[in-house]
Chain A
């Protein structure tokens, strides 16, 4: 998750004949500062900057700012569904001489920022891959820490999700999760099911193969029970039974996998400048 700032030589308020003055822009000059520090945590953890505009990371947004986009982005170009594989937490912690737990905690903070950004940009569905079925092979202590962290985060965020009209769905095989977590997930989904804003899909103990297998199992059972004819089973049926089909836009337009934050940040900064300049000119 990037927090970028750069110098833009536009001072609309001081140019009496500026024909491109956009009344929606902040009346103060937009200033962009090149930051060389850690892109996520050098600012207050509840806010971030993109293209000179400040976005609150938590708390209520005023209605007129809720859906405004950073300069250079247009609503019709935004993806409807973004998926993020939240990888690299342990690597991030190792690079800073911290324990893995700190990496996961930092990942959760970054996740909150990500949710806010998606809300602000009008993205309809956000899928985050929090825990893969392969992750059970990690040391038990680490797995327990992850699941505890997950449980704590859900309890801490329920009010936030309700306030921000976020609908939460958990996809994956819940049977191996602790009972307390399973009950918490059920309550969370039940509580937020009528929310109409961002639809947040959290993949826990999920894998693509698992999803296909359970879809096939469900269809076979329905055919056995006479609910559908075997001859009518087609690709559409399989798609409908996938867990990922619970969203209005089930197919991700963009998949992001986070990792190797240091090098990625530098490359993305350069790409960002190119995009921004391309728009300004």
Chain B
């Protein structure tokens, strides 16, 4: 019986050692899998940097036939941290000018870009503010129209439009039955000077893929692309984002 107990103990110990070795093996396998995944991400990042370099040098032929006219209106959203980097914003706008984008809206929730408007316009040639461009007919072929927007241009604009409609339709002498439609809101926004085109493409610079309160009324069919932090913005990645947009087939719900 004593011998039986001893054998049983030895057997249990052996199984325990085998299990420990097995555990170690599985742990190593797990770390190996993680290493592969990390290497994959590293290679992906390296590949993206290289691709961006090749695109910006014009070495990848397919990006040379970029039709920038397909992007009728481009919006760039950045969080407040990114918006404070005025030099990077200017660089971005210069890149967009080189690509041939004609109409750009710059948005940040707190309106920091509006405050840096003068500093930005100073550094750029062939740029006109959207308000000036729509008033005058003297838009030079090379001109880019630039719009600055912030959080207050979203909800507040719709509120003003609603107030305008209320005064026009409910406080006037002839009160008819009024059924509000989308086109009424569009007209009201135009009447109060808040009508702006809907962007085809929205580039988000910041840590999160979030439009940060960009006027929702204008985002119905907008394609949203997250570009990462503004400081790692590259000319090649801009071209790629715009090129991919031009190749996309939109169903618009149909």
Chain A residues near B (Cβ < 8 Å): 6-9, 11, 14-15, 132-135, 137-138, 207-210, 212-214, 216-217, 219-220, 223-224, 230, 233-235, 238-239, 270, 273-274, 277
Stretch from B3-11, B47-55, B155-163, B227-235 that touches the partner: B155-163
26 contacting pairs across A/B (C-beta < 8 A):
A6-B33, A7-B26, A8-B30, A9-B25, A9-B29, A11-B23, A134-B252, A134-B253, A137-B252, A209-B182, A212-B217, A213-B181, A214-B180, A216-B158, A216-B165, A216-B180, A220-B165, A220-B178, A223-B170, A224-B166, A233-B163, A235-B155, A238-B155, A238-B159, A239-B155, A277-B37
A273-B161 CB under 8 A given contacts A207-B220, A212-B217, A223-B170: no
Query: Which 4 residue pairs across A and B have the least CB separation, nearest first?
Result: A134-B253, A9-B26, A216-B162, A217-B180
> Quick check: B23 and A208 within 8 Å, CB to CB?
no
What is the interface size of chain B, counting residues whose CB is below 8 A from a CB of the partner? Answer: 42
Query: Which residue of chain B has its CB nearest to the CB of A208?
Result: B216
Q: Which residues of B contact A216 (CB under 8 A)?
A: 158, 161-162, 165, 180, 185
Q: Which residues of A contact B126 (CB under 8 A)?
A: none
User: Among B33, B166, B169, which residue has its beta carbon within 8 angstroms of that of A230?
Assistant: B166
> Quick check: A270 and B23 within 8 Å, CB to CB?
no
Q: Identify which of residues 12-52 in chain B touch chain A, using a CB-to-CB cut-off of 8 Å.
A: 16, 19, 22-23, 25-27, 29-30, 33-34, 37-38, 40-41
B254 contacts partner chain A, Cβ-Cβ < 8 Å: yes
- Please, how many angstroms separate the alpha-carbon atoms of A210 and B216 in the complex? 12
Q: Which residues of A contact B156 (CB under 8 A)?
A: 235
Q: Mark B169-205, 1 if CB is under 8 A from A, else 0.
A: 1110000001111101100000000000000000000
Q: Which residues of B contact A11 (CB under 8 A)?
A: 19, 22-23
Q: Which residues of B contact A274 (CB under 8 A)?
A: 34, 37-38, 41
- Please, how many angstroms separate the alpha-carbon atoms of A199 and B43 in the complex? 43
User: Among A135, A223, A239, which residue has its beta carbon within 8 angstroms of that of B253?
Assistant: A135
> Quick check: A213 and B37 within 8 Å, CB to CB?
no
User: Among A133, A223, A235, which residue has its beta carbon within 8 angstroms of that of B159?
Assistant: A235
Q: Which residues of B contact A223 (CB under 8 A)?
A: 166, 170
Q: Mark B50-82, 1 if CB is under 8 A from A, else 0.
A: 000000000000000000000000000000000
Chain B residues near A (Cβ < 8 Å): 16, 19, 22-23, 25-27, 29-30, 33-34, 37-38, 40-41, 155-156, 158-159, 161-163, 165-167, 169-171, 178-182, 184-185, 216-217, 219-220, 252-254
A273-B26 CB under 8 A given contacts A137-B253, A209-B217: no
For chain B, what secondary structure do more than half of its interface residues adopt (helix, strand, loop), or is it mixed?
helix
A220-B166 CB under 8 A given contacts A209-B182, A212-B217: yes
> Quick check: B159 and A233 within 8 Å, CB to CB?
yes
Query: Which residue of chain B has its CB nearest to the CB of A273?
Result: B37
- Please, how many angstroms separate the alpha-carbon atoms of A161 and B158 in the complex? 37
Q: Which residues of B contact A224 (CB under 8 A)?
A: 166, 170
Min C-beta distance of A228 to chain B, whole Å: 11
- Please, how many angstroms separate the alpha-carbon atoms of A234 and B158 in the complex? 10
Q: Which residues of A contact B155 (CB under 8 A)?
A: 235, 238-239
Min C-beta distance of A35 to chain B, whole Å: 14
Min C-beta distance of A175 to chain B, whole Å: 12
- Please, how many angstroms separate the alpha-carbon atoms of A207 and B40 in the complex? 40
Min C-beta distance of B46 to chain A, whole Å: 16
